[in-house]
Chains A and B, each alone.
Chain A
Amino acid sequence: MSQRIDTNLVKHIAFLTRLSLTEEETALFSEQFSAIIDYFDMLGEVDVAAVAPFTQPQITRAELREDVARPSMEREDFLANVPQRKGNSVRVSVVLENLAAGGDSSSAD
């Protein structure tokens, strides 16, 4: 079996998708992904030079709603499932470090 998707590529994709993998998972996924992609390479046989991609199977055109203001989700409904809240805010990790200078360095509101 080829190793088209080697462990370095698996690690790179894991990083892009924000997934952490153990060494065992990385090795197993490399083997499994290579087998799957090898099988899927059969699509290369099809002549698609004159074919346009078909991305939505709708048979009539999607219609847009009238642009009318309506009430949005109630704040309590939105906040009910938030893992960490503070008052009426969602507590999140710091994304831009310098903005948190002088404050709590691990999270911001």
Chain B
Amino acid sequence: MDLYTLSVRQASDLLQTGEITSVALTSAILERIHAVEPTVRAHITVSEDLALQQAEAADVRRRAGEQVTPLTGIPYAVKDCLSTKGVRTTCASKILEDYVPRYNAAVIDRLADAGAVLVGKHNMDEFGMGSSCENSAFFATHNPWDVTRVPGGSSGGSAAAVAAEMTPFALGEDTGGSIRMPAGFCGVTGVKPTYGRVSRYGLIALVSSFDTIGPLTRDVADAALVMQTIAGHDPRDSTSLRAPVPDYDQTFTRDLKGVTVGVPVEYFAEGIDPAVEAPVREALAVLRDLGAEVREVSLPHTHYAIPVYYLILFAEASSNLARFDGVRFGLSSDGADVLERYLHTRHAGFGDEVKRRIMLGTFALSAGYYDAYYLRAQKVRALLRQDFDRAFAEVDALVAPVCPTPAFKLGEKVADPLTMYLSDVHVVAINPAGVPSLALPCGFTGDVPPLPVGMQLIGRPLDEATLFRIGHAYQQATTWHLARPSVMR
């Protein structure tokens, strides 16, 4: 048995019965990373020594009869925007190339307490700014299903690593589709939780009012298990919600009787590739067969989601990235005076897309433009949220494609930022509204090689449980989540 192929729950069961050790499992994962990394390029850092130490500690904890959790001894890796004590954290930016945090993000602390084993840090678009993982300052990640294509972004390294079986699970970060889009392109399961459900403490901020941290996994059952560990209130994040976290396993059902699912007509409108629409429509038929009632709904302001999302993103990002001044941490260039030092540091440290967004944010916030752009975007944002609230008065969840197309070719959209932004049309409305969404695979295109197609389930605020229930029942009735790319097998 190749241990690297195990899901979180499969590995957890074998660790529990003593059939495998965490050191054996972690070693298998590290070997798999070494074998596949030259092809997929998912990792910025592999923390091999630390991983083996943590695996040994997990085995000792288990042998000593100490309390263990389902994640004790399970390897994982995270997007490189999450602070990891003693492990380089770059945000895929030259400005943080040598930055080694002195503290852990809250989610890393929670996983460490649970006994999980950190094996590395995943590639991403610089500071999360991108939809293809090509904006990394270091290298592009390749889609394991077709290495000439992008894995999606910005958590592209995390999705590619889960798909290529380089980790049983990963943590990504979703500001406007950055977990769901790569999950869709790479054929894995990804969760964008309700805003405030998971602590952002120790996350290097992109858009403080959109950012969410969530798992990428092989299936919904594993995603729920990881969420069970990382969700919940944290006093170190003032936007963290005090709401109780339900026992997600208890909400799983075989059928979906009593569940009403909405199909937002705007998400199936112009521009959707028939190769994407067909599998999502088939998935709706599966949900109906499982007992769900399916009905059309309207989210009339969807058309405005892209400008709302990007204008607020530009504005908040320009403010958040002002901290990179070369004084307290990160890259620091010389200059004759304080101004020149800032200019040199930020010129050398930031990539083109980061510069574009910082500048457009400052434009949208500046006198004379603030009302027309930033303030107006925040008002239309209220209408986006109102669309969801009205839909959720009628239905329990919404079903939509993750992206209008399957994974595109590397290099295809890099020259035109606006075209790249438009590829986010189905994922961006969710973050300004703050609602949760679960992306999961629902079929393949007819391309050679075939490319995964993803759908997303969108839910009421704090109702991840209903999304897990629907997604889990769907995966019990289908096998799309079990398909693996042929890379290095």
Contacts and interface: CB of A to CB of B under 8 A. Distances in A.
Interface of A: 5, 9-10, 13-14, 16-21, 25, 29, 32-33, 35-37, 39-40, 42-44, 46, 48, 51-60, 62-65, 73-74, 77-78, 80-84, 90, 92-95, 106
A72 to B, nearest CB: 12
A5 B378 contact: no
Contact of A43 (B304, B326, B417): B304
Interface stretch (B5-13, B147-155, B266-274, B350-358): B350-358
Contacts of B444: none
A108 to B, nearest CB: 10
B100 A81 contact: yes
B304 A54 contact: no
Interface of B: 99-100, 102-103, 194-196, 209, 235, 238-239, 241-243, 301, 303-304, 306-308, 310-311, 318, 325-332, 335-339, 341-344, 346-347, 350, 352, 355-356, 358-360, 362-363, 366, 372-373, 375-383, 385, 417-418, 421, 432-434, 461-462
A73 B328 CA distance: 14
Given A14-B359, A19-B355, A57-B209, A81 B102 contact: yes
A63 B341 CA distance: 39
Given A13-B363, A42-B303, A106-B337, A32 B434 contact: no
Contacts of B350: 19
Contact of A13 (B341, B362, B433): B362
A80 B101 CA distance: 9
Contact of A83 (B241, B327, B347, B355): B327
Residue of B301, B335, B418, B432 ringed by the most chain A CB atoms within 10 A = B418
Contacts of B355: 19, 21, 25, 29
Contacts of B343: 18-20
A9 to B, nearest CB: 8
Contacts of A56: 209, 239
Given A53-B379, A73-B102, A44 B372 contact: yes
13 contacts: A9-B363, A19-B343, A20-B346, A36-B360, A37-B363, A40-B310, A46-B379, A54-B382, A56-B239, A57-B432, A77-B102, A81-B99, A94-B337
B289 to A, nearest CB: 33
B338 A95 contact: yes
Nearest to A96: B338
Contact of A81 (B328, B356, B380): B328
Nearest to B237: A62
B195 A46 contact: no
Nearest to B333: A83
A60 B244 CA distance: 13
A29 B377 CA distance: 22
Contacts of A90: 327-328
A18 B362 CA distance: 11
Given A33-B363, A53-B381, A83-B329, A19 B196 contact: no
Contacts of B360: 33, 36-37
B91 to A, nearest CB: 14
Contact of A58 (B362, B373, B434): B434
Contacts, number: 172
A36 B352 CA distance: 15
A38 to B, nearest CB: 9
Nearest to B339: A18
Nearest to A65: B235
Nearest to B360: A33
Given A19-B355, A33-B359, A51-B382, A43 B209 contact: no
B434 A59 contact: yes
A52 B382 CA distance: 7
Contacts of A53: 375, 378-379, 381-382
A46 B344 CA distance: 41
A92 B418 CA distance: 38
A17 B339 contact: no
B335 A93 contact: yes
B366 A29 contact: no
B337 A36 contact: no
Given A40-B373, A59-B462, A54 B362 contact: no
Contact of A40 (B194, B307, B318, B325): B307
A54 B376 contact: no
Given A19-B346, A40-B307, A46-B383, 11 more contacts: A13-B359, A32-B417, A33-B360, A43-B377, A53-B381, A54-B381, A59-B194, A59-B196, A59-B241, A73-B103, A81-B330
B17 to A, nearest CB: 41
A12 B331 CA distance: 24
B244 to A, nearest CB: 12
Contacts of A73: 102-103
B378 A54 contact: yes
A53 to B, nearest CB: 4
A43 B381 contact: no
